[in-house]
Amino acid sequence: MSCSSCNGCSSSEKRGCGTSSVFNWLAGVDDLKTSKHRNLVEVQFKNNRKGYFENTQNIKLSEGDLVTVEVESGYDVGKINLIGEIVYYQIKRKKINTSTNPLKKIYREAKENEINNYERLIDLETVIVKKAKKIIYKHNLEMKLVDVEYQADNTKAVFYYTAEKRVDFRGLIKDFSKEFKMRIEMKQIGVRQESAMVGGIGSCGRELCCSTWMTEFPPVSTSSARYQQLSINPQKISGQCGKLKCCLNFELDSYLDSLKLFPKSNKTLKTKKGDAKQIKIDVFKRTLQYVYKNNDPGIYEISLAQTLKIIEENKKGNIPESIEEILINKDKIK
């Protein structure tokens, strides 16, 4: 049975629906009848949590189906994301050793009563979060509860939290178990994972990348902003999570490749009017902006080709009259 009830719903309406879009780049190439990995399945649970399973019973499955799967204790329900050869490459990419950690099994397509219970627990999670926050407040713990995820068989609950320091959970877990009457697991996450769970709209006007398609969060440094000639203004280059925006990494490789063609920022252009220093570059327009080191207030934009020509002439001992003269005769230098 497919998760048709999720079509068109918002995250607030269906907190258990996965939001990440998955592109099967082997679709149309992978022949499930001949592929030796045709029984491998990627299943997505709440909060973009994914697991890899084996369809040992050769159940006829399709992407988007809800299935009941084996877990360490009991069973859980999730949605099929990918099937077949591409799952093998996903497992390989994440360096999962299936020899020492064999894949668990898919039991069956989720039954109607299992789906109903699964949806009931998703609706219940909002209430549970509110109750859990009150218990945390009573214990005066320095932590922030972000979300809770119930196992579909109603035997286990995972509480996701953020904290700057180590938290003593002994009394908290005891009260949680007493209140919710099930096994409790506390899982600490980072602020980026918190933003992915909460969701929101970025400064670009689109839904946050971390809550839609991103599943891994590589580190982002201020050098990524510097290479792209961005102002190091925390308010402009920080995301909803308070950390540097993940998108600063998206075009970084293109900038680094282009910057190899440009002279170093400390390279001075020598002219008879005076030495000029670089203040800004535009890698897409392939232009550079220079100002004279003397009191000339002008800002002069010249092409990369013109700049390299001046540097080459300077090495030969030739000093042009001025940057202005170069700009007047720019048609002579391409």
Q: How far apart are CA 56 and CA 31, in angstroms?
A: 18
CA nearest 289: which of 93, 281, 133, 243?
281
Q: What pLDDT does 140 receive? A: 92
pLDDT digits (tens, 9 = 90+) for 288-307: 999 998 877 888 899 999 89
Could you give the CA distance from residue 239 to residue 201 in angstroms, rounded to a whole number?
A: 10
Contacts of 301 (CB under 8 A, 6+ apart): 287, 288, 289, 290
Q: pLDDT below 70 — which residues of the chain?
A: 1-35, 329-334
In order of 135, 141, 192, 218, 249, the CA distances from 209 in angstroms are 33, 31, 11, 13, 12
**Can you give the three-state secondary structure of 240-293, one letter per residue?**
CCCCECHHHHCCHHHHHHHHCCCCCCCCCEEECCEEEEEEEEECCCCEEEEEEC
pTM of the model: 0.70
The pLDDT assigned to 160 comes to 94
Say how far apart CA 209 and CA 243 lie, in whole Å: 14
Say what the pLDDT of residue 38 is.
Answer: 86
Distance CA 26, CA 33 (A): 14
DSSP state of 165: S
| Residues 193-229 pLDDT 10s | 888 888 889 888 998 888 888 877 888 999 999 888 8
What's the pLDDT score for residue 325?
A: 81
Report pLDDT for 6: 46
Beta-strand pair 40-44/75-83 = antiparallel
